[in-house]
Amino acid sequence: MSILLFSLILLAGAFVAGLLGSLTGLGGGVVLIPLLTLVFHVDIRYAVGASLVASIANSSGAAAAYIKEGITNVRIGMFLEIATTTGAIIGALLAIYTPTSLVAVLFGVVLLFSAAMTIRKKNEHGTNTSNSKLASVLKLNNSYPVNGEMVPYKVRGVGGGYALMTLAGIISGLLGIGSGALKVLAMDNVMRIPFKVSTTTSNFMIGVTAAASAVVYLQRGYIDPGIAMPVVLGVLAGAFGGSRLLMKMDVKKLRLLFSVVISALAIQMIYNGLTGKL
């Protein structure tokens, strides 16, 4: 395969990854890493390095649009980034000494979990009746636009959400994905934040978490510019497209399709990891 053809296919795959990552809040790594390892047979550590760079681009592209629309809760994002960044550094250091077959199996398990979280019942509107004292002190309560009107919501379970975010950071650093499933789960189910707010805030956070992990991979030489460049360009274009679509469409059917696809990829990753093919 020529370098040009490789770059074009990778660019198209990265665009799809950025689009789906922006719409679901999961990050583009759930598509990119299986694409690189299963299709192009790239070493999984280099795939993780490229995915981390893509996650930064995906977050940057989508977050700007969501903040402009007034959906993202920046205060929650900055507070929880303390937990995810700490976890990401720990995860990246663990990844250097973890066998690639084990990383592949863990990645497949996280993909299956992400698929389940994608199609579960969502907390669409959050709560405005009760909140934690810590949320009030940190001024985490906010409002977001629904059909042209600002709907207020109050945050609960700040401590539990923070603990789950630390775990999300470790998984992000270890596997090179945005771990958006855990982030959305923490904000949606534990902190009772409306789904659109949790999805967009997850996108906002993914880039900072990935940047902390990417430093470790860069120092170890696991970020290849030839792979990372088309990935960044494709993911950025997909992220901008996804941020526009989220405001206009019901993504229920898309999430169902996405969960089926990544479940199939997860099974393939686990099989290849257990048989030593990765």
User: For residue range 185-221, what is the model confidence (pLDDT) as tens digits?
Assistant: 778 778 888 877 887 888 788 777 778 788 888 888 8
* CA pair distance 201, 179, nearest whole angstrom: 13
Q: Are the C-beta atoms of residues 269 and 38 closer than 8 Å to each other?
A: yes
Q: In the chain, what is the straight-line distance between the N-terminal and C-terminal CA atoms, in Å?
A: 20
At a CB cut-off of 8 Å and minimum separation 6, what does 243 contact?
A: 22, 61, 62, 65, 66
Question: Element (H or E) spanning 144, and its range?
Answer: strand 142-146
pLDDT < 70: residue spans in the chain:
1, 21-22, 24-28, 58, 60-62, 118-131, 176-181, 246-255, 257-258, 261, 277-278
Q: In whole angstroms, how large is the CA radius of gyration of the chain? A: 18
Q: Are the C-beta atoms of residues 270 and 109 closer than 8 Å to each other?
A: yes
Q: Which residue has the tokens 């600002």?
A: 150
Q: What is the pLDDT of residues 26-61, one digit of tens each?
A: 666 777 888 788 888 888 888 888 888 877 776 766
* Range of the structural domain that residue 203 is part of: 3-274
Which pLDDT score is estimated for 162? Answer: 92
* CA pair distance 97, 251, nearest whole angstrom: 39
**Cα 137 → chain centroid:** 28
Per the structure, the count of domains in the chain is 1
The CA-atom distances, in angstroms, between 238 and each of 37, 91, 235, 266 are: 21, 27, 5, 22
- Reported pTM: 0.69
Which pLDDT score is estimated for 19? Answer: 81
Q: Is the dihedral angle over the CA atoms 9, 65, 88, 268 positive or is it negative? A: negative
Q: Which residue has the tokens 């401590």?
A: 159
* CA pair distance 155, 169, nearest whole angstrom: 21
Pair of tokens at residue 273: 């990891």
Please state the φ and ψ torsions of residue 154, each to the nearest 5 degrees. -120, 145
Which pLDDT score is estimated for 79? Answer: 92
- Classify 72 in phi/psi space as left (phi over 0), alpha (psi -120 to 50) or beta: beta
